[in-house]
Chain A
Amino acid sequence: MQTEVTKASARAPGTGNTDAASMMLTLTVAGQLCAVPVLTVRDVLGVQTITRIPLAPHEVAGSLNLRGRIVTAVDLRLRLGLPPREPGQVAMSVVVDVGGELYSILADQVGEVLSLSAEGTSPNPMTLDASWKEFSLGVHRQGDQLLVLLDVERLMALGV
């Protein structure tokens, strides 16, 4: 999965006029396509050993070791109020940097890096579920699917 990001960053200069700020990494959670800005992403990891943290908010899955740095993992499904992952279903870690602190977002799948134009982004539709609305910066039509732009800082503002 490491390759995904490398490929993406390699492709980024090639697209020339594409502003790095508009590059998004897509991920899927409970069948919903969403995206986070590539610039905040530090790493994408496969299945990790995650240490449970007692007394932590229930969205916090635990902490993991990223090359000597301790990263707190937040389960996107629980954060968005979605049902927990089926047993046996693995989670992917998208490591993001929020204010110098590393967090891992646990998603079901990690997709590709896309360049999204600002014009294609529309504000949250009225029908968007409330739990999604809180963490959505807007939606983007991607083929026949709707892509939710996630507010990473918001997502990580747990217990604050």
Chain B
Amino acid sequence: MDDLLADFLTETNEGLASLDAALLQLERNPSNGAVLSEVFRTVHTIKGTCGFLGLPRLEGVAHAAENVLGLWRDGTLAVTQSGITLILSAADRIRQIVAGLEATGSEPVGDDAPLKAALNAAASGEAPAAAPVLAEPDQAPPTLEEPATPIPTAEPAMEAAATGGNAPQTIRVAVDVLEDLMVLVSELVLTRNQLMQLARAEENAAFAVPLQRLSQITSDLQDGVMKTRMQPIGSAWAKLPRLVRDLSNDLGKRIELEMRGAETELDRQVMELIKDPLTHMVRNSADHGLETPEQRRAAGKKETGRILLNAFHEGGHIILEIGDDGRGLNTDRIKAKVVAQGLATEAELAAMSERDIHRFIFRAGFSTAAEVTSVSGRGVGMDVVKTNIERIGGMVDLVSREHRGTTFTIKIPLTLAIAAALIVEAGGERFAIPQAGVLELVRVGLGDGPKVERIKNSAVLRLRDQLLPLVPLKHVLRLEPETEAPQTEGFVVVTQIGAQLFGIVVDRVFDIEEIVVKPVAPILRHITMFSGNTILGDGSVIMILDPNGIARATGLGLDGAEGTAMQEQAAAPRRRDRSTALLLFRAGAGAPKAVPLNLVARLENLEASRIERTGESLVVQYRGTLMPLVPLDSYAQPPETGHQPVLVFGDGTRAMGLMVDEILDVVDVPLEMDRAGLRPGFLGSCVIAEKVTDILDTSFWLKQGQPDWFETQAVVGTRPRILIAEDSDFFRNLIVPAVMAAGYDVMTVNNGRDALRLRDAGEMFDIIISDINMPELDGFGLARAVREGGAWAELPMIALSSQSEPRDVERGRAAGFSDYIAKFDRDALLSSLQHCLQPMLAR
């Protein structure tokens, strides 16, 4: 019965929305029979349905109005202005009653007798006799309103009238029809693509222009049909308030559920698929996340816990957040469980960030609830959620802070039916990779671009400051036998699964095509590397790769259930702040030398004849400018003939070449420096491959002749931890080795936003060094955000900038920086660090 009533209300509101406009139109043009019929039908429908539903008040009003309208329609009675007024007030009354119905589920109490009498009088015929009656309604509505006003539904009635006026006209269509339409449109898109491909081969074809038009219309049609499948996410949330209410009773907790962005639309197919995971997560929040009122009071929180659902669009995706303000995840308990289940060792955990540890809850069979409750805690939770979400190309992640609560973030594509995909080739076969998962495309192995390196047995790509594990597609798909040597040339499709980045190595990359995802045949469903197949513009069938499946199959990602060897690989990027790639070379006598590889822009082997002498110094014409060459061994002279190996340093505008004797190797080692036997130009020495190796102090060579700065500070027992926010690789690489050599532990981020993410993830530092000009969130913004509150509010912060005018310094201090230092001024930076950390070191 509830559903019937809801349907009736929807229909009636739709009818009422157009009723006023139609009546006014009728008033202007009383002879318009079509409009009159429409009005009559609307009122008639209302009357008929409410009789069936047992709504006597509504039926009475509608019936009286229908009588008048019937006479008008038959021509027995002339349409008059006062008559229209009367019908309008009847429509208002209907609205008022409907609003009451919507609010309470039953008709509000009220007296319609005067209105019905006026309508009946109008219907009873003679215009002269009706005149006095008709004069009345002008005052009538206020008097008639009176019995209604004490009823609280009066106000909703106004609202309903307002929203009713804007309510779009809707029709109900069976879902099957929409699904069929979608399938047809998908086919149309494919055929269009095929035609376009043919047309490309044919120049000046007569059909080029109409084809273009057809293509445009197809795209518009596709958009249109997609829209018909969109539903507000609120409809997937409809059952949650009840669920939360029941849970709060069962669990003895006070829970408030807040839902934001309920109007955010997404494809109904996607919605069906996320409904269950969503319910599960809300259940989890209520059960595990929130504390009992007593616990909350003890923790100084409001007794009523809060669960917040938030939905919004973000570039082709919908983001769903499920957050609570409960106790947060218990990191220690997760750690204990991880170790107990043998998922990682204590040592591995120690190297992980808190956030990475929290992510273990997405592993199969992982539940930290101390005891199994009827609500959740059976250990079949988050992994199922994660699998379900990933199956539809989504991602799930979480942020949790002890005592502050936990927030899960789900990112899902808006639709599953049509997707843009990158067409690639590996081992002679073509494949489609959905563009949603592709972060960037890197060409490797040519010229001075990025190169594939090897760490132990796995191939990695050094991309900016990250080490990406690489998955050679032709090997995982067994198109070609795995060889000893890694694939060094080709393209790397950088893909993200959760927080894990990895690269899929392919041979060639074609263009991006719109593809219609079709499920694979049942006999192929066991191959998890494919999420479907499709037909390309040229008519050929192509398999669609599933990056999630590939990551799982190769054991990448934190949640890969098996494959300990690959876990090591997955851990590689996390260890980036612990080990550094060093370029080994020989120059002059003595120990081999090394320099952080990231600092070196290029390696050149210059022809001796190109090296020129200007006065005391050596230069070479290099990329259109004169680049100074500095011999590392001051007695060394460039060779008369042959070649001179040179390390080129530079940041785009400036360049400097360092002449060395021979380039030896690239190694990845933790940069643990020994400062014994220190001499100018070197940061210290390091044991690499059982040989003492001198680490080059690049800034020394860049600036030449600066006084040594190593006397400034002694290493203390525990290394102070520094966070450096700096977007320029060049400066970062310049600062980090220097600061590390001075005895600090360093972590780097690209911008202020990333820094704050670390804060939110619970990372702690002793001091922050920040650049001023950074993308996303600059230094000033970072300082202000840090000072606003949170765990970092009291940390010393040093600004590092190329602008160090007094007013810049002042602005920095105003934003919350403790000190402001010019870039390149290492001495100032190190002494400032020491100064800022003095209180801590004294402890």
Residue ranges of A at the interface with B (Cβ–Cβ < 8 Å): 49, 51-57, 60, 62-65, 68, 70, 72, 74, 101, 103, 156-160
* Residues of chain B with a CB closer than 8 A to A56's CB: 524, 527
Subset of 6 A-B contacts with CB under 8 Å: A63-B541, A65-B535, A68-B190, A159-B526, A160-B522, A160-B523
Residues on B facing A (Cβ under 8 Å)? 187, 190-191, 427, 429, 477-479, 518, 520-524, 526-527, 529, 533-535, 539-543
B518 near A70 (CB under 8 angstroms)?
yes
A-side contacts of B535, CB under 8 Å = 65, 68, 70
Query: Which residues does chain B contribute within 8 Å of A70, judged by CB atoms?
Result: 518, 521, 533-535, 541
Additional A-B contact list (5), CB under 8 Å, known A70-B521, A70-B535: A64-B541, A68-B187, A101-B522, A159-B524, A160-B523
Residue of B nearest to A64 (CB): B541
Whether the pair A51, B542 counts as a contact (CB closer than 8 A) is: yes
Within the complex, what minimum Cβ distance (angstroms) separates B482 from chain A? 14
Determine how close the nearest CB of chain A comes to the CB of B504; give it in whole angstroms.
Answer: 14
Complex CA gap A62/B427 in Å reads 15
Select one of B479, B529, B533 contacting A63, CB under 8 A.
B533
From A49, A52, A54, A156, B523 is in contact (CB under 8 Å) with A156
- Picked from A53, A54, A65, the residue with its CB within 8 Å of the CB of B539 is A65
Chain A residues near B520 (CB, 8 Å)?
Answer: 72
A144–B125 alpha-carbon span in the complex (Å): 98
Contact A55 B540 (CB under 8 A): no
A115 to B529, CA, bound (A): 44
Q: Which 6 pairs show the lowest CB-CB distances between chains A and B?
A: A54-B477, A72-B521, A158-B523, A51-B541, A63-B541, A55-B527
Query: Do B543 and A51 touch across chains, with their CB atoms under 8 A apart?
Result: yes
Q: Which residues of B contact A157 (CB under 8 A)?
A: 523
Q: Identify which of A49, A55, A74 contacts B478 (C-beta below 8 A).
A: A55
CA distance A68 to B535 in the complex (A): 7
- A51-B540, A56-B527 known; A103 vs B429 contact (CB < 8 Å): no
Could you tell me the distance between the alpha carbons of A158 and B529 in the complex, rounded to whole angstroms? Answer: 18
Which residues on A sit within 8 Å (CB–CB) of B541?
A: 51, 62-65, 70
Q: How far is the CB of B826 from chain A (nearest CB, A)?
A: 54
Main secondary structure of the interface of B (DSSP, over half): mixed
CB distance from A95 to the nearest CB of B (A): 13
Verify A51–B429 contact, CB threshold 8 A: yes
Q: Who on chain A is nearest to B194 by CB?
A: A68
Contacts of B526 in A (CB 8 A): 159
- List chain B residues, Cβ under 8 A from A62: 541
Q: Smallest CB–CB gap between B619 and chain A, Å?
A: 54
Beta-carbon contact of A60 and B524 below 8 Å: yes
Least CB distance from B222 to A in Å reads 16
Smallest beta-carbon distance A113→chain B, Å = 26
User: CA–CA, A53 to B464, complex, Å?
Assistant: 35
Best-buried of B190, B523, B535 by chain A (most CB within 10 Å): B523
Contacts of A49 in B (CB 8 A): 539-540
* Residues of A with C-beta under 8 A to B479: 54
* Complex-state Cα separation, A53 to B540, whole angstroms: 13
CB distance from A45 to the nearest CB of B (A): 14
Which residues from B are CB-within-8-Å of A72?
520-521, 523-524
A103 vs B478: C-alpha distance when bound (angstroms): 24
CB distance from B65 to the nearest CB of A (A): 54
How far apart sit A53 and B543, CA to CA, in the bound complex (Å)? Answer: 7
In the complex, residue of chain A having the shortest beta-carbon distance to the beta carbon of B526: A159
Task: Determine the distance from Cα of A74 to Cα of B294 in the docked complex, in whole angstroms.
Answer: 66
Residues in chain B near residue A53, CB distance under 8 A: 524, 527, 543
- Pick from A51, A52, A158, A159 the residue with the most CB of B within 10 Å: A51
- Bound-state Cα–Cα, A160 to B525, Å: 10
Is the beta-carbon distance between B187 and A54 smaller than 8 angstroms? no
The docked-state distance in angstroms from the alpha carbon of A54 to that of B187 is 25
Shortest distance between the CB of B549 and any CB in chain A (Å): 10
- Residues in B neighbouring A156, C-beta threshold 8 A: 523
Are B522 and A54 in contact, CB atoms less than 8 angstroms apart?
no
Once bound together, how far apart are the Cα atoms of A160 and B522, in whole Å?
A: 9
Q: How far is the CA of A158 from the CA of B523 in the complex (A)?
A: 6
A residues in contact with B539, CB < 8 Å = 49, 65
* Cβ–Cβ < 8 Å partners of A160 in chain B: 522-523
Q: Which residues of B contact A52 (CB under 8 A)?
A: 429
User: Which residues of A have CB within 8 Å of B478?
Assistant: 54-55
Complex CA gap A74/B190 in Å reads: 25
- Tell which of B187, B477, B522 touches A55, judged by Cβ atoms closer than 8 Å: B477
A residues near B522, Cβ cutoff 8 Å: 101, 160
C-alpha gap A60/B539 in the complex (Å): 20
Per the bound structure, the CA–CA distance linking A8 and B324 in Å amounts to 68
Question: Could you say which of B429, B521, B533, B534 contacts A54, with CB atoms under 8 Å apart?
Answer: B429
Known interface pairs A52-B429, A159-B526; A65-B521 also in contact (CB < 8 Å): no
Q: Are A57 and B542 closer than 8 Å at their CB atoms?
A: no
Nearest B residue to A56, CB-CB: B524
- Contact between A55 and B529, CB atoms less than 8 A apart: yes
* Residue pair B523, A159 in contact (C-beta under 8 Å): yes
A contact residues around B542 at 8 Å (CB): 51
- Within the complex, the shortest CB–CB distance from A86 to chain B, in Å, comes to 22
Q: Which residues of A contact B524 (CB under 8 A)?
A: 53, 56, 60, 72, 159
For residue B533, which residues in chain A have a CB less than 8 angstroms away from its CB?
A: 63, 70
- Which of A51, A55, A68, A101 is close to B521, meaning CB atoms less than 8 Å apart? A101
Please indicate which of the listed interface residues B191, B521, B527 has the most CB atoms of chain A within 10 Å of its own CB: B521
A53 CA to B190 CA, complexed, in Å: 21
Q: How far is the CA of A57 from the CA of B525 in the complex (A)?
A: 11
Check A68–B523 contact: CB distance below 8 A.
no
A64 surroundings in chain B (CB, below 8 A):
541
A160 to B521, CA, bound (A): 12
Which residues on B sit within 8 Å (CB–CB) of A159? 523-524, 526
Residues on the A chain within 8 Å of B540, using CB: 49, 51, 65
Q: How far is the CB of A152 from chain B (nearest CB, A)?
A: 13
* Smallest CB gap from B524: residue in A: A56
Q: Considering the chains assembled together, what is the distance between the CA atoms of A57 and B527 in angstroms?
A: 10
Q: Complex Cα distance A15/B540, Å?
A: 40
When chains A and B are docked, how far (Å) is the Cα of A19 from the Cα of B541?
37
Kindly list chain A residues whose C-beta atoms are within 8 Å of the C-beta of B523.
Answer: 57, 60, 72, 74, 156-160
Q: Most B CB atoms within 10 A — which of A55, A63, A156, A160?
A: A55
> What are the residues of chain A within 8 A of B543 when measuring CB–CB?
51, 53-54
Specify which of A57, A63, A156 lies most central, judged by the most chain B CB atoms within 10 Å of its CB.
A63
Residues A103 and B187 in contact in the complex (CB < 8 Å), given A51-B540, A51-B543, A54-B429: no
Residue on B nearest A55 in the bound complex, by CB: B527
Question: How far, in angstroms, from A86 to B192 measured CA to CA in the complex?
Answer: 38
Do A103 and B527 touch (CB < 8 A)? no
Specify which chain A residues have a CB less than 8 angstroms from the CB of B429 in the assembled complex: 51-52, 54
Q: Which residues of A contact B529 (CB under 8 A)?
A: 54-55
Chain A residue with Cβ nearest B473: A54
Distance from B510 Cβ to chain A, minimum over Cβ atoms (Å): 15
In whole angstroms, what is the CA distance A101 to B542 when docked? 18
Give A65 to B187 CA distance when docked, in angstroms.
Answer: 12
B536 to chain A, nearest CB (A): 9
A60, A63, A68, A74: the one within 8 Å of B191 (CB) = A68
Minimum C-beta distance from A51 to chain B (A): 4
Most buried by A among B522, B529, B540, B542: B522
Q: Which residue of B lies closest to A158 (CB)?
A: B523
**Nearest B residue (CB) for A51:** B541
- How many Å from the CB of A31 to the closest CB on chain B? 27
Contacts of B527 in A (CB 8 A): 53-56
Nearest-neighbor residue (CB-CB) of A63 within chain B = B541
In the assembled complex, which residues on chain B have CB atoms less than 8 Å from the CB atom of A54? 427, 429, 477-479, 527, 529, 543
- Say how far A48's CB is from chain B's closest CB, in angstroms: 10
Chain B contacts for A158, CB-based, 8 A: 523
Choose among A68, A101, A160 the residue with the greatest number of B CB atoms under 10 Å from its CB.
A68
Q: Which residue of A lies closest to B543 (CB)?
A: A53
Chain B residues, CB < 8 A from A103: 521
Please give the distance in Å from B608's CB to the nearest CB on chain A.
Answer: 51
For B191, the closest partner residue in chain A by CB is A68
B755 to chain A, nearest CB (A): 43
